Chain A
Amino acid sequence: MLKSKTFVKKTRSGGVMKIVREHYLRDDIWCGSEVCTGCKQESTVLQKDACIESNLCSYPHYLIPDTNVVLHQIDVLEDPVIRNVIILQTVLQEVRHRSAPIYKRVKDMIHEKEKHFYTFTNEHHRETFIEREPGETANDRNDRAIRVSAKWYSQHLKPFEADTEGLKVVLLTNDLRNKQTAEESGFRMSSATVFIISGEEYIKSLIANPELVDRLALSNDEKVTNEITSSKLLYPEHLPLSRIQAGIKSGSFLQGTFRASRDNYLEATVFVQGEGEDGTEVLLQGLQNLNRAVHQDVVAVQLLPRNQWVAPSSVVLQDEGAAKDDNVDEEEEENTLKESATESVRKPTGKVVGIIKRNWRPFCGMLNVSQIKESTRHLFTPADRRIPRIRIETRQAATLAGQRIMVAIDGWPKDSRYPNGHFVRSLGSAGEKETEEEVLLLEHDVPHQAFSQAVLSFLPKMPWAITPEEMAKRMDLRHLTVCSVDPPGCTDIDDALHCRELENGNLEVGVHIADVSHFIRPGNALDKEAANRGTTVYLCGKRIDMVPELLSSNLCSLRSNVERLAFSCIWEMNHKAEILSTKFTKSIINSKASLTYAEAQMRIDDTSMNDEITTSLRGLNKLAKILKRQRIEKGALTLSSLEVRFHMDSETHDPIELQTKELMETNSMVEEFMLLANISVAQKIYDEFSECALLRKHPAPPPSNYDILLKAAKSKNVEIHTDSAKALADSLDGARVKDFPYFNTLLRILATRCMMQAVYFCSGMDSDFHHYGLASPIYTHFTSPIRRYADIIVHRLLAVAIGADSTYADLMDKHKQSALCNNLNYRHKMAQYAQRSSVAFHTQLFFKSRGILNEEGFVLFVRKNAIIVLIPKFGLEGTVFFDSKDKTAPNIVFDEEGPTLTVEQHTFHIFDKVKVTISLDASNIQHQKIRMALTEPVIPGVSVPVPDVEPQAKKPKLDR
Chain B
Amino acid sequence: MAADMRLPRVRKTLSVSESASHRRDLVVPGDIITSDTGFMRGHGTYVDDDKLTASVAGEVQRVDKLICVRPLKTRFNGEVGDVVVGRITEVQQKRWKVETNSRLDSVLLLSSVNLPGGELRRRSAEDELTMREYLQEGDLISAEVQSVFSDGALSLHTRSLKYGKLGQGVLVQLSPSLVKRQKTHFHNLPCGASVILGNNGFVWLYPTPGQQEEEAGGFYTSLEPVSLADREVISRLRNCLLALAAHKVLLFDTSLLYCYESSLQHQVKDILKPEVMEEIVMLTQQKLLEQEG
Direct contact of A and B (CB under 8 A): no
